[in-house]
A and B are shown apart, each in its own frame.
Chain A
């Protein structure tokens, strides 16, 4: 829900010496992404994706660097990044499990799947396991309703899930 505001007026951002958006990544985006669009700002989503892919999430410093790179205010980068569910503005687990909660998946009993996952990982949706390995998320329709219930584990879709076959998927990630 993008309109929830946080009391962050006095917050200091963590910084580090080394850039998140480093020269190699900049050169790659400059060569392959920027020429696709008539202005630099349009490369925002691809750049956010690229930085997140490399870093795992989007630290505030990275948002500032992206702003400088694309010629927009850091606040505008923040504005865009906070709108989209796939961008992580806080660290997440090594693997993110996105379990669909929309209608076809609920009809096909995604509830028992979620109950099992919560028990197995000892976390609630939105939380990360203590060892930093798994983050569990509820997500709306993944566009694979015919093979409900389904879940995305990072970039891989798992279909026709059940309490019986979900263990194997998690165990393969150990």
Chain B
């Protein structure tokens, strides 16, 4: 069933409920006039632990890429000890194909601030840092202005309607990054917040136990937090009428794909943009119903389901539903950010694979050898193939090298290497002919090794 009414895009006109051209910045007054901060008021009347239980019951899963249930994450915090505890909002949004958080920040910053306040109240966090990528200059300004409005209206600050948290006044700040994709990885984000290089940390300890400045820290994506106000306001049952329920026979601890999701579509479609739909909508429906079909009437060749780290869908997988099970069911890493990149029949898959690996090679933080060296070798090999100088041995080598990045748990610190691995693996496996037709036969006999995962 399609989305019946807009939720995250309630105030951001979006087809079919509204028109892109009608979008404008929502002020504090506009937000309150349209039911904003009602969720927060309800949260203030609840016990913090009840808010967490509600979030758990909603089964809201993280919208930043990994899909971890937010309520469960919130319940990992240790008991309060009177010292500061932090919320770090992940607004780094640098994964190619992903531009959804930007839309919320551009037009409805208070929906994020309400979610932040609810999370601070539920988890008893006194200080929030919104880590926003450096390139989002305009969005950082909008956010700062919205935070000023929120202080002026006692959402945060000395007279906050939340009272004191950990004996401190609730505070909220913007912290700007400076151009590094890896700072979206949650522990790299923390290092960057602390004024260091954005190097991911070895886990454990997990941030909920020892995060920013060594203190308990919750890290959530912008869209995840933006969903909290509507859930607290309208309830778990309402939220669970949207999206995909658990299939029959699946045990209740396995999270389902409830709720609506912002889906950003880019590439070869007539009307790219960020749309809101229930989880479970198919790639085909997104293209045909929302994006005005394929550009120039071309045929569909492939799509990235949600940011390039997820890999690609094959030509015959256009009916894949965009939900958190897409990885398992369609041979990719997962839903990721639901930033769908559509490619038409004329697309050069070798060039696209090269583009994707260049990204990961460039953005590798350099700590782990398989990621730093591996991605660079894969990039060079793909360039060689693209330029017509590759051999069949290169294809074997590609599968071997890419398959050993991140695939073996413990060989790399963070998930960036996994992304590289899945991107290459799916490009090669699903578009093998495109690659094979570009290479010459190798004279190295018997090179081919099986890929063991």
Report which A residues bind B (CB closer than 8 A): 1-3, 36-39, 41-46, 48-49, 70, 72, 79-80, 83-87, 98, 101-104, 106-108, 139-148, 152, 155-157
Which residue in chain B gives the minimum CB-CB distance to A38?
Answer: B213
Q: A107 contacts B272, CB within 8 Å?
A: no
Known: A3-B366, A104-B267, A146-B266. A140 touches B173 (CB 8 A): no
Q: A2 contacts B195, CB within 8 Å?
A: no
Q: B99 contacts A103, CB within 8 Å?
A: no
Q: List 9 A-B contacts (CB under 8 A).
A: A49-B176, A86-B178, A106-B352, A107-B341, A141-B98, A143-B102, A143-B135, A145-B341, A155-B137
Q: B362 contacts A103, CB within 8 Å?
A: no
For the complex, would chain B's binding face be called helix, strand, loop or mixed by DSSP majority? Answer: mixed
Report which B residues bind A (CB closer than 8 A): 84, 93-99, 101-102, 129, 133-138, 171, 173, 175-181, 192-198, 213, 264-268, 272-274, 304, 308, 339, 341, 343, 347, 351-352, 355-356, 358-359, 362-363, 365-366, 372
Contacts of B192 in A (CB 8 A): 45
Contacts of A46 in B (CB 8 A): 175-176
Smallest beta-carbon distance B109→chain A, Å:
16
A84 CA to B182 CA, complexed, in Å:
10
A96 CA to B147 CA, complexed, in Å:
30
Q: B363 contacts A83, CB within 8 Å?
A: no
A142 CA to B351 CA, complexed, in Å:
20
Which residue in chain B gives the minimum CB-CB distance to A108?
Answer: B267
Which residue in chain A gives the minimum CB-CB distance to B358?
Answer: A101
Q: Other CB < 8 Å A-B pairs besides A144-B99, A146-B272, A157-B137, 5 of them?
A: A2-B197, A45-B192, A84-B179, A107-B347, A145-B266
Contacts of B99 in A (CB 8 A): 143-146
Q: A42 contacts B193, CB within 8 Å?
A: yes
Q: A107 contacts B267, CB within 8 Å?
A: yes
Which residue in chain B gives the minimum CB-CB distance to A111?
Answer: B351
Q: Indicate which residue in B94, B176, B339, B366 contacts A140 across the interface (CB closer than 8 Å).
A: B94
Q: A84 contacts B134, CB within 8 Å?
A: yes
7 closest pairs, A vs B, by CB? A44-B195, A85-B179, A84-B178, A145-B266, A86-B179, A3-B366, A83-B197
Contacts of A2 in B (CB 8 A): 197, 365-366
Smallest beta-carbon distance A156→chain B, Å:
8
Q: A83 contacts B195, CB within 8 Å?
A: no
Known: A108-B267, A140-B94, A140-B359. A45 touches B175 (CB 8 A): yes
Smallest beta-carbon distance B111→chain A, Å:
18
Known: A36-B173, A103-B97, A145-B96. A140 touches B363 (CB 8 A): yes
A46 CA to B173 CA, complexed, in Å:
12
A112 CA to B194 CA, complexed, in Å:
40
Q: A106 contacts B138, CB within 8 Å?
A: no
